[in-house]
Structure formats: structure tokens, C-alpha cells
Amino acid sequence: MPPVLKTPDHVLDAGTLAKLRKVNSTAVVDTLARNGFAPGYVYMPRVKNLTPGQRLVGRAITVRFVPARPDAVAEKPAREASPEYAAFELAGPDDVIVMESMQSKLMSIGGDIKFLRLKQKKVEGLVCDGGVRDMHVVGNYGLKIFGLDMTSNLGTTVGVPYETNGAVTVDGILVRPGDYLVGDNDGVVVIPRAAARDIATKAIEYDDLEEWIRQRLDSENLSPGKYYPPDEETFKLYRAWKARQ
């Protein structure tokens, strides 16, 4: 089982995480696009917030499900050693469990009993491209839950958890252990681990820049085209204003 990445260069400090939790996913998408990561690389188009109003920011610990087949079921570790439970034990308060779940709400990745452990460990949340059961209970656990939809289906008839902390594809988007995920009502975005610190810093600035633009447009009664989308001149004006504050 590959360990979750602990390399300091890939880990966001508590202060950066706190600021990033106030930034909308749209600002993160825009920042990634400005730095070589097009939305098609990082934005999950169908995954939605099953805990509306909650914002998610955390580092990925991954689980891969494969279609249920007798030999695959026989091969995987059983009980507490099962790949999803192994991932749960790796996770902590700033981590997100990310599950490749075959892009089907019929693939239930768990419900109230499984995810009680995530509540106990104060895990940030869960992202999957499958279905989540028992949201009437799980929704009260304090977890931020993102998936294709809620479901009543029994997932074991569809798929089997097969690998912990390998590269996964969730809603068509690559997620690697140690990547960061940002989620809100507008969707889920992946920040590649190698760029996490740089992108987080720039996204925080970009979010503040957009607020500055809104204030300027309102006070000056101008067309959005004056400052938006922001170019280098807009950034220069914003940074000069920021330096004076």
C-alpha cells in the first residue's frame, strides 16, 4: 500500500488552508487555467455537493473501485484491511477521501456505518463519482460529501474497493495521492500536488482581486470590461491598491 505523501513541499500549512477554505472553486479554476491547467484537466463536471453550503478543502487519499467479479472480490483484503478502511485509517482532519467509483450512482461507496469512522477521525470530507447512501444520517456527521447523487442501491453488487492510494480517475479527472481538492456548491476542482502551494497562494490573491473588481465597478458604475477578465494591468492596479492598505 503506497503511503500518503508527507513531503513538505506538497503540504499546505494551516494558515493557507484556512484562507483557501474561503475561496470559491471558480477562482481556483481560473487560477489553474492561468497557470497551465485547463479546466478539462482539473474540474469534475458531474460531481455535486451533497451537503449544500459546505466548502471542502483537503489533501487526497484515494480509493479505487473496480467492477464486482468473483475473482476480484476474492483477491481484495477482507474486513479492516479492505482498501477503503485502510484509506480511512490514513486520513486525518485535513484529508479528503477520494473514490474512483465507476461514474455510476448505482455504485454506492458507503453510508452511515462506514462513514462514522470518518466522523470519528474528523476527516475533512469525501469526493466520489458514485452514489452515497444514508445521507439523512451522513449529512449530520459534519463531513463535506460530494458525489454523483444519493442512492439506495447496495454497492457490493456493482463494484469492489480494490486499491488504496494509487492514481484514480474521478468523473474523468486524474487525482493522485497528495493532490488537493477544493469543493463548494459550484463543483469540485483538483489542485495538482506539485503546484499546490503556488496555486493556493495565487487563488487566494485572485479571489481578493475579484472582490476588489466588484467594488471598483460598483463605485465607478462601469462596464465589467474595464477590469474583467483581469489582465496584467488590472493586477498591477490591484497590487498597488493592496500595498497602500
CATH number for 144: 3.50.30.40
Q: Which amino acid belongs to residue 137?
A: V
Residue 37 maps to a domain = yes
Residue 132 maps to a domain = yes
Residue 79 maps to a domain = yes
Residue 237 maps to a domain = no
Residue 214 maps to a domain = no
**Closest alpha carbon to 48 in 18, 31, 25, 30:** 25
Instruction: Find out whether 10 and 191 touch, Cβ atoms under 8 Å.
Output: no
Per-residue pLDDT of the chain (245 residues; tens, 9 = 90+): 444 444 555 789 999 999 999 999 999 999 999 999 999 999 999 999 999 999 999 999 999 999 999 998 888 888 889 999 999 999 999 999 999 999 999 999 999 999 999 999 999 999 999 999 999 999 999 999 999 999 999 888 899 999 999 999 999 999 999 999 999 999 999 999 999 999 999 999 999 999 999 999 999 998 999 999 999 999 999 999 999 98
- 200-206 contacts, C-beta under 8 A, 24 or more apart: 200/12, 200/16, 200/19, 200/20, 201/16, 202/31, 202/34, 202/35, 203/20, 203/23, 203/27, 203/28, 203/31, 203/32, 204/16, 204/19, 204/20, 204/23, 206/23, 206/27, 206/30, 206/31
| Cell numbers found for residue 119 | 466522523
Residue 59, phi then psi, degrees to nearest 5: -90, 140
Residue 2 maps to a domain = no
SS3 84: helix
Q: What is the distance, to the nearest Å, from the Cα of residue 50 to the centroid of all Cα atoms in its chain?
A: 13
Residue 133 maps to a domain = yes
Q: Which amino acid belongs to residue 151?
A: T
Residue 215 maps to a domain = no
Structural domain count, the chain: 1
Range of the domain at 112: 8-198
CA–CA dist 64, 74 (Å, integer):
16
